[in-house]
Amino acid sequence: MPKKYNISVKTTPPRFFPVGKYTTVEFREDCAGSCRECVKKKCIYGIFKENYLHMLSMHDPEYIYNCQSCLRCVQECTKGIFSRVINPEYRELGDEYWNADIIHRTGVQAHTGQVPVSGSGYRGPFVGEGFDSMWTDMSEIVRPTRDGIHGREYINTCIELSRRPRRLKFNKDMSLAVDAPPIFEVPVPVLFRQPDFGVLSNNVLMSIADAAHKINTMMFIRPEDYSEALAPYSDNLIPMLTKDNYREFTDLIQKSRMIEIAFKPGIENEIDKLRSLKEGLFISVGMPLNADAASRSLELAKADVDTLHFYADNHGRETDSENPRFIKEMIREVHLKLVDNSIRLKVNLVFSGGIAMAEHVAKAIICGADGVTVDNSLLIALECRMCYRCRQGLSCPVKLEDVELEYGSQRIVNLMGAWRNQLLEVMGAMGLREARRLRGEVGRSMWFEDLEKENFGPIFGEKKVS
């Protein structure tokens, strides 16, 4: 019996005080000072105690932004001297997509390895753009046996990265009459990708590679950034090569289980040449997620390719378009193109770009992906604040270049542990026990665009697109 897959998380506090969302303002001149049980002593998170200790040591008082917004002090103070406000620094984090809430929640998960919970609950908009216009089905949530996190039922999050025969044929003695290619599985539908920006020091790359090794997933890496220090992780690295340079990296190919070759017209003619370099080599083809993605996926699926890897932009948008679509619509288009041509099961589809939260993983799989890759989230786990100072040649405020291997690796492992637990909760609430069963199951989701059309369309008519 194989050992049950588990991601071992361990509390790993940040090196720098995080920029939290809320703080409590205290109007001390109205304090009676005679309360026997001051609400500051009752704070279960010890925020006011930390306040006192930091004032004594004259540290920068960012500690106060650790407020968990339970509002107990606001509600129970007999003089009503407390009020909650949003930290002005918090509003400056990130950009319009990688916003402060995503950065904050990612940091909490990297710290604790637990599913994030807010004392004040969700106070955001009911619907938004992209993945925020899609909801997952929770119709089985009341069933007590659907509990993959606590072990009462095993939910498999494994996916394959290897190709499969389109149909099985058997001889009269019931032996296979077709060649069955080797199987390559990873236990989570999340792969790592070397970020396109940031302080990508050797320590940062080593931390990501070590985390990939610990949870047994894969990491896409540029071959020029490969070093001997990364050699122990070669089984978990996927070098991103091109048609023009792969012959220069034959030694790296020999060390790797899987490689990626960038799309170029005629690339399917290079597949057999690549396989001749190493027996049993798994091959992915990387290409931009643009208007040609669906048609190209059909052409390449007929070749001997294991995985097709599509790259959206940093915000999960279609590339090379004046009016880019979001990645969820693009995933659906590519998936259905292969389904309509009865070839979907032969290849695997992996998508990059804009995967910022655990819910995005589940939603991408529902749209038709086999797996996704994460990049910026890995940097955020290492305390990156997405300030983009590094792009301007300025110093990193959290000194990413000084990240220690064990610290950085554990923070990423914690994040993936929290993400996997959330995936287990979603699948358990759906009544599904296998991630591969979730692929393309749009019936397990609700899309705002469809609901609006079905419910408000008959009343207000169809929207006119200018």
Q: What is the pLDDT of residues 343-388, one digit of tens each?
A: 999 999 999 999 999 999 999 999 999 999 999 999 999 999 999 9
Residue with token string 């070759």: 261
Higher pLDDT, 146 or 437: 437
DSSP β-bridge partners for residue 127: none
pLDDT(30) > 80: no
Residue 196 lies in a domain: yes
Q: What is the mean pLDDT of residues 297-317?
A: 94
The reply to whether 295 and 438 lie within a common domain is yes
Q: How many residues does the chain have?
A: 466
12 lies in some domain: no
pLDDT at 410 over 80: yes
Could you read off the pLDDT of 195-246 as tens digits, one per residue?
988 888 899 999 999 999 999 999 999 999 999 999 999 999 999 999 999 9
Residues 97 and 234 both lie in one domain: no
C-beta neighbour count of 128 within 10 angstroms: 10
Q: Which residues on neighbouring strands pair with residue 164, listed in sequence order?
A: none
Q: How high is the pLDDT of residue 122? A: 64
Q: What is the DSSP letter of 428?
A: H
Model pLDDT, residue 295: 95
Mean pLDDT along residues 243-266: 94
- Chain centroid offset of residue 298 CA: 26
pLDDT at res. 242: 95
Q: What is the DSSP letter of 170?
A: B
CA–CA distance, 352 with 307 (Å, rounded to integer): 13
Do residues 77 and 168 share a domain? Answer: no
One domain, residues 79 and 170: no
Domain for residue 140, yes or no? no
Do residues 173 and 91 both lie within one domain? no
User: Do 49 and 166 have their domain in common?
Assistant: no
Query: At 240, which CATH number?
Result: 3.20.20.70
Residue 250 falls within a domain, yes or no? Answer: yes
Residue 35 pLDDT = 79
Inside any domain, residue 9 = no
> What confidence category does residue 118 fall into, taking pLDDT thresholds of 50, 70 and 90?
low
pLDDT tier for residue 36 given thresholds of 50, 70 and 90: confident
Dmax (CA) for the chain in angstroms is 91
Q: How many domains does the chain have?
A: 2
Domain boundary among 80, 99, 125: 125
Q: What is the pTM of this model?
A: 0.88
**Cβ atoms of 344 and 336 closer than 8 Å:** no
Handedness of CA 109, 365, 260, 186 (dihedral sign): positive
3-state helix, strand, coil in the chain (%, to 5): 40, 15, 45
Residue 184 CA from chain centroid, whole number: 21
Query: How many angstroms separate the CA atoms of 131 and 171, rounded?
Result: 47
Q: Residue 142 above 90 pLDDT?
A: no
Query: Across the chain, what does the average pLDDT equal?
Result: 87
Please check whether residue 191 lies inside any domain of the structure: yes
Phi and psi at residue 383, to the nearest 5°: 85, 10
**Side-chain-facing half-sphere of 196: CA atoms under 13 Å:** 10
Same domain, 196 and 97: no
Rounded Cα distance between 135 and 328, Å, is: 12
Q: How far apart are CA 42 and CA 77, in angstroms?
A: 11
- The answer on 290 and 390 residing in a single domain is yes
Give 99's pLDDT tier (boundaries 50, 70, 90): very high
Nearest CA to 384 out of 18, 10, 9, 59 is that of 18
| Residue 252 to residue 223: CA distance in whole angstroms | 8
Mean pLDDT across the stretch 90-117? 91
- Residue 405 above 90 pLDDT? yes
Residues 403, 343 share a domain:
yes
Residue 6 CA to its chain's centroid (Å): 18
99, 125, 151: which is the final residue of a domain? 125
Show which of 125, 148, 172 is a domain's final residue: 125
Other beta carbons less than 10 A from residue 38's beta carbon: 17
Would you give the DSSP letter of residue 156?
A: B
Smallest CA-to-CA distance from 227 within 204, 244, 202 is with: 202
Percent of the chain clearing pLDDT 90 (strictly above): 57
Residue 44, Cβ density class (10 Å: 0-12 exposed, 13-18 middle, ≥19 buried):
exposed
Strands 185-186 and 159-160: antiparallel
Q: What does 187-248 look like in DSSP terms, one character per residue?
A: SSSEEEE--SSS---HHHHHHHHHHHHHHT--EEE-GGG--GGGGGGGGGEEEEE-TTTGGG
DSSP 282-317: EEEEEEE-STTHHHHHHHHHTTT-SEEEEE--TTSB
Same domain, 316 and 422: yes
Domain that holds residue 91: 22-125
Residue 65 — very low, low, confident or very high, per pLDDT cuts 50/70/90? low
272: in domain:
yes
Residues 181 and 314 in one domain: yes
Cα–Cα distance measured from residue 367 to residue 173, given in angstroms and rounded to the nearest whole number: 40
- Cβ–Cβ under 8 Å, residues 386 and 93: yes
Whether the per-residue pLDDT at 60 is higher than 50: the answer is no
Q: Are residues 355 and 248 both part of a single domain?
A: yes
Residues near 431 by beta carbon (within 8 Å), at least 6 away in sequence: 139, 140, 143, 146
| Residue 135, domain member (yes or no) | no
Of 240, 208, 261, 256, give the one whose Cα is nearest residue 415. Answer: 208
